[in-house]
Amino acid sequence: MKGTAILPVPSQTPADRGAAHVQPRTTITRRGRLFQRLALLLSATVLYYAFFGLGGLAAGTHPAKQAPWAAPRGRPYSGSSSVKPGPLPPSEPSDVCPQPAALAPAKHRALAEELDRAYADEAFKLHAYETLGGAIRIPTESYDDLGPVGEDRRWDTFAKLHEYLEQTFPRVFETLRVTKVNTYGIVLHWQGSDESAPPVVIAAHQDVVPVEPATAGEWIHPPYSGFYDGEWIWGRGSCDDKSDLIASLHALDALLEKGFKPEKTFVLAFGFDEEASGAQGAGHLAVYLEETYGTNGIALLIDEGGGAFGTPYGGDVIFAVPSLSEKGYLDVRIELSAQGGHSSVPPKHTAIGLLSSLIVAIEEQPHEPALVRGGGPYNATQCAATYGPEYPDELRSLAHSAVHNDEALAGLRDALLDNFPRFEAILRTTQAVDLVQGGVKVNALPEKVSAVVNHRIAEHSSVAELKEHFTNVILPVATRLNLSIEAFGSNVSAGSGKAGRVVLSDAFGTGLEPSPVTPSGGEDPYQVLAGTIKATIQSAEGYNASGVVVAPLLQIGNTDTRYYWNLTRNIIRYKHVDDGDRFNGAHTVNEAVRAEGWIQSIRFYTKFILNSDEYL
């Protein structure tokens, strides 16, 4: 059915079919046959131009030149409901989920193959496992209440990690230009021969989330053991994010050892408080990088994020999911002041009761979900519907029609929410009441109470829209309860204020708009990374799949890239690891990475550097 997918055959009524069977045969003369052939040729020509367009074949013109990594152009969905959509094989192109060609180094092909053989050597693997284990054994925990660097002694553990990295990768730290930013931020500058070419940045972070002491006994191996048990490397940071940091250093070290001299400049930037806020690490690194390389002076930046690659839709089609954007962020503090007094003579509603009414209203009126054509969730859904072998038929059909049909688009949104609970967090601005404070004594009426509501702002929304929604939700409740309102610095007409006053504010001054969306057109740097992902997976030892689909999505959480927007439009969040090679994920007990699978991260960074040097 491939040839007819966008040109559906008109349906026939039973009468039509019956009439066709009883039409009389006619005798066709030689001249008739000639005219029949000419008519068929003319019809085919008309169909060809209608399908492919005239522009590329008009006199004096040529088809548009494609980038070296570009895959064949695909077939668009027609939006017709008369064709039942089915999963395409990954080799079949599609306009709703454009796929890059697998991109392997050409100019440095021999070097890439030599390093692949080196990485497969058992001695190299064991050495690499130990280098990651050694980094894990240094507990570089970051906390939300850390003071400034130089004042809070808890930062001192990062000095030990720096000493370890310098001893473990002496070739890297002796060859590249090393800059320390705010003491513990690391910048490694590898100058290329083409000084006019903008650099490529590889980012990672040195810190890890703290281990909850009460859970230490639940670990199969101690959380800071870095123990290799013959299959897994155990410990905090094995998945997030020392694995990426060490893998990128191994790639650089191997390239330096082989005498590789890049044309492009490469910069490694390692923050040290991403798990807190990133302000001390990436916040300072961003300023340094912009001062050094200029605003929009970076060609491409890759940092942690995205999702692991795997087969989430069944079958043997591997999906890799880099993130091209992140949700925004805002913590809203609700502070309510009311008259105090003795609890033996209480008002109808205490301050805590009043605050509770506001919280109930907030939770009863969540933000509306939206599925926007061209947005990250929409594009990821189209990829899943196009190539996912076991993607639900109902959703596949809706996605097929949603390309042009608004009603189908709304139906697809609702079906995603019904079938995949995670889309509740993807398609809407989320809200979570995480902090509540109030009351000091059981016989004293509370005078000041507060709550903090955490929000992750949807790709289609904004900080301003969130503030407006929040204010509008509590306004009728405040009016009914006679509470006055100050909303984000402005007085709002509400109740008389007799019962108390409500102040809404950005709780910690960390409000963040949804990130810009990285362009992913056929000529954009994204294609180099996407092609590298595909080539690395397909060339891995033991690869056994019908193909790889690169399906960009939206990052729900925030990474250090929030500080890097001024450096480049081309920011991609991606971690090259198979979903089955993570024992229990990150930020939880028994964090571990399968050692053999982690070697693929080293291969990925190696190919990414070689491809970026050649194709960007």
Give pLDDT, residue 69.
52
Q: What is the mean pLDDT of residues 181-192?
A: 98
> In which band, very low, low, confident or very high, does the pLDDT at 330 lie, cut at 50, 70 and 90?
very high
pLDDT digits (tens, 9 = 90+) for 366-376: 999 999 999 99
Q: What is the pLDDT of residue 514?
A: 98
pTM of the model: 0.86
Q: Which residues contact 401 (CB under 8 A, 6 or more apart)?
A: 79, 81, 408
* Rounded-to-integer distance, Cα 275 and Cα 144, Å: 8
Would you state the pLDDT for residue 306?
80
C-beta atoms surrounding 460 within 10 Å: 17
Burial class (CB in 10 A: 0-12, 13-18, 19+), 279: middle
**pLDDT tens sequence across 193-211:** 999 999 999 999 999 999 9
* Catalytic residue list contains 207: yes
pLDDT band (50, 70, 90) for residue 18: very low
Residue type present at position 342: H
**Tens of pLDDT, residues 571-597:** 999 999 999 999 998 899 999 999 999
- pLDDT score of 44 more than 60: no
Q: Please, what sign has the CA dihedral across residues 114, 120, 121, 127?
A: positive
The pLDDT value recorded for residue 53 is 38
- Angle (nearest 5°) at CA 118 between 602 and 234: 45
Active site residue 596: no
* pLDDT averaged over every residue in the chain: 88
The confidence score (pLDDT) of residue 58 equals 33
Please identify which of the residues 241, 253, 274, 304 carries the catalytic annotation: 274
Q: Phi and psi of 16, rounded to 5°?
A: -60, -45
Q: What is the pLDDT of residue 308?
A: 85
Residue at 7: amino acid letter: L
Name, in order, each residue with C-beta under 8 angstroms of 208's C-beta and a sequence gap of 6 or more. 139, 140, 141, 142, 236, 237, 240, 241, 242, 275
State yes or no: pLDDT of 70 exceeds 80: no
289 neighbors 187 (Cβ within 8 angstroms): yes
Q: How far apart are CA 306 and CA 561, in angstroms?
A: 12
Tell me which residue of 491, 510, 505 sits closest to 452, measured CA to CA.
505
Judge residue 457's burial from the number of C-beta atoms within 10 Å of its C-beta, 0-12 exposed, 13-18 middle, 19 or more buried.
buried
Q: Give 442's pLDDT tier (boundaries 50, 70, 90).
A: very high
**Judging by DSSP bridges, how do beta strands 317-321 and 307-310 pair with one another?**
antiparallel
Comparing CA positions, the residue from 476, 197, 467 lying closest to residue 331 is: 467
> Above 60 in pLDDT, residue 439?
yes
**Residue 83, pLDDT score:** 43
Structure tokens at 406: 């608004």
Instruction: Say whether pLDDT at 401 is over 80.
Output: yes
Q: Phi/psi at 178 (nearest 5 deg)?
A: -105, 130
* The one catalytic residue among 207, 244, 253, 273: 207
| Higher pLDDT pick, 15 / 466 | 466
Question: What is the SS3 assignment for 232?
Answer: strand
Distances (CA, A) of 608 to 202, 271, 536, 561: 10, 21, 9, 19
Q: What would the two tokens of residue 577 be? A: 């690891």
Residue 28 has pLDDT above 70, yes or no: no
